[in-house]
Structure 1
């Protein structure tokens, strides 16, 4: 069996703790011949501590050569004083940009066992299954100029530039329509065409791609602020939401909270398939961030990281049965009442990071053997 090369980038905060639980699953699968070859690198604050940069050239080369990258989290108060250009988050942005990971997939799924953990009523969120498709390498996060200008007389001006070209919108639109074809067949495109020229172009291009290539999929347009309201009013009306980098960042966090905890939600960042090999560069990461306030305490929820690994199995290696088994193992453990502190509920058993990882690994092993 050909090897499968994985680059593990635990990063900062709770990243190393949650990554350790995925390494248990990799070892379990390798014992059955999965053939994963892993390499570990530093990113974010950990990389700054090692070499004064948020991601080294050696780590970038390892990422470019890997079949997939599993990413933990970056940042924390320890590095608040570093220059803006070399802040921990710059390592993540460079990985996304250099790997050309333009499509960020953020599922928001409410497990039945966690419906009461949401801030919304059970009937509003139970059975929720949304996929937010966020454009990841364009928009205001990467547009130039990006600067703070001294105007004199004690005045400064901050400048961030929102830029989108037609081809950038076309490719994320196609990714959203393709995803909808495998789900419930509906795409909601969100922008701010009422006040932003990039929103006008976004609306035009998505409409044109739909008309030319995906008329079998239902398309609706919605202003992004109205979309945020609808997400908390009636979230189950959505199937696939496609939006730009800035709005995708915000709306995916809103959707995440509907499920009860950021500690539950994975994500995948995908590039375009290689024309010769069909290989698609990809990076997978939990949504929750580095959570420095609980780092090192052994209480972090590892399920978002584990679910990110399940997405890797599905999207990078077409290991659908294994991905289904792992996602089923997560649901089984939750149904059994095993909880970390962030999702604790009356009558359940509270556990730490390692014990939650062990419980999922045990359930996963049984499902693989069945």
Structure 2
């Protein structure tokens, strides 16, 4: 079996963490008689510097003609003052999601036993956390009409949150299907008491729920959900929510894993899925081999599971990561007393060694 992967390292630490994920893919491929063919493309600030745009047509075509996409990270202070249509974080990522039809982002948040004592939350709160956040990706505030205009006293700006029945139904159905494969509990997050779009959201979710009588459905306001994620996160199994709420809540949920450097993600919905760590480009540590590559490595485990149907290979990577965490080496973001600091590359080597 040969699979073609579009590799987009991007900016900052992207090149370092992607290199370790590729290393792990090669190792697991050798074990399972799978060959991975990599073709590299430009995205984000690196693409702006090279060709003047954050998402070149050549990169988009490469992604469309691949079996999966592996993305590092994009953006950084160097490009912060560019016009909106050239900003890496918006133009590149939103453009890629839209053009590939990636309407759902799946982010598991799980605490490994070895990281419990290093969490900022109490052990009895964090121990045993294992949840999945499903975020709608192509609708809502980030894709609605927006404008800035002059007024007599200064300026006025607005962004429009828009959702359709179809957009809500497909993400809700994914939430229910995911819950059916887990503990059959789904929390739908909205702001039903204030926003009209949330009232439509809740109506549609309730309608879809009729097809899944086995799933226990709970509705929760987004502000309450943010509080509950740090108060008692073990109450959650699967969370489904709209674009902006999901953007915020998934970053918050990442800390339930001990570090945002532990949170993988998959963006699905089209023919080609995208896999990337949840964290950013961390330009302050770029090129220093300090970045945690485990979120990217766990993202390729998700790739094996969702895009290539290689469940056992994915599980082997997850087990290898856990064994590394049980050992004596950690990256700086996971450091605790008694452990030794390792470089990005060393952590990748340790995962391969476990495989």
Q: How many residues align?
A: 353
Distance in 1 (CA, whole Å) between partners of 2:36 and 2:77 is 34
Q: Which residue of 2 aligns with 1:99?
A: 100
**Among candidates 270, 273, 278, match of residue 282 of structure 1:** 273
Are the equivalent residues in 2 in contact too, given 1:149–1:157 (CA < 8 A)? yes
After superposition, where does 1:1-370 map in structure 2 within 5 Å? 1=1, 3-32=2-31, 33-89=33-89, 90-144=91-145, 146-153=146-153, 155-211=154-210, 213-272=211-270, 280-364=271-355
Q: Distance in 2 between matches of 1:282 and 1:352?
A: 29
Query: Residue 284 of structure 2: SS of its match in structure 1?
Result: coil
Unmatched segments (≥5 aa) in structure 1: 273-279, 365-370
- CA shift for structure 1 position 152: 3.4
Give the superposed CA RMSD.
1.0
Per the alignment, residue 276 of structure 1 pairs with none
Equivalents in 1 of 2:29, 2:199: separation in Å?
A: 49
User: TM-score normalised to the size of structure 2?
Assistant: 0.98
Off by >2 Å, runs of 4+ in structure 1:
26-33
Shift of 1:30: 4.2
Q: CA deviation at 1:267?
A: 0.4
* TM-score, length basis structure 1: 0.94
Inter-partner Cα distance in structure 1 for 2:335 and 2:281: 20
1:226 alignment partner, SS class: helix
For 1:116 and 1:157, the matched residues in 2 are separated by: 48
Report the 3-state secondary structure (helix = DSSP H, G, I; strand = E; otherwise coil) of the residue aligned with 1:82: coil
Could you tell me how far apart the structure 1 residues matched to 2:29 and 2:243 are?
36
Gaps of 5+ in 2: none
Alpha-carbon separation, structure 1, partners of 2:30 and 2:204: 48
Is the CA contact 1:117–1:259 (under 8 Å) kept in the aligned structure 2?
no
How many Å apart are 1:26 and its aligned residue? 2.6
